[in-house]
Amino acid sequence: MAKSLMIVDDSATMRKIIMRTVRMSGLEFSRTEEAGNGNEALEKLNAEPVEIMLCDINMPEMSGSELVKKVRELPSCDDTKIVMVSTESSQEIIDDLLANGANGYITKPFTPEKFQEKLAPFMN
Ligand SMILES: [Mg+2]
């Protein structure tokens, strides 16, 4: 069964680049959603949860780490795998995100191979 995917990033250009890179990785999704901020993401997740979420960290209004905490409060998203995509690469920040419910981390600049490697474990 193909999985559903949501890309959350405040940059529309970055969402397009991520989407294109995901497609190049060869991974196939049954449904893809985009959200430009945390509130939009939560609204869409409330309407229909996704199985995999790619999430930016640095976003205005609601940071990626705040969004992770809020998604983890949604019972419908208990099984959603959250993979952060960011230039932020300090181990402290990564550890904090993982402790708060993120499932993985991809640093920019990324490659299709990197998406394949990090998302494949969640595709079954
Ligand atoms: Mg950003």
For residue range 68-77, what is the model confidence (pLDDT) as tens digits? 999 999 999 9
Write down the domain spans for the chain: 3-122
pTM of the entire predicted model: 0.96
Q: Is the dihedral of CA 118, 2, 21, 43 positive or negative?
A: negative
Q: Say whether pLDDT at 104 is over 90.
A: yes
CATH number, domain 3-122, options 3.40.50.300, 3.40.50.2300, 3.30.1370.60, 3.40.109.10? 3.40.50.2300
Distance 1 CA to ligand 1 centre (A): 31
Distance 58 CA to ligand 1 centre (A): 4
Mean pLDDT of the chain: 96
Q: Which helix (H) or strand (E) holds 11?
A: none
Q: Is the dihedral of CA 37, 65, 123, 73 positive or negative?
A: negative
Q: In sequence order, which residues have a C-beta less than 8 Å from that of residue 91 and are 6 or more positions away?
A: none
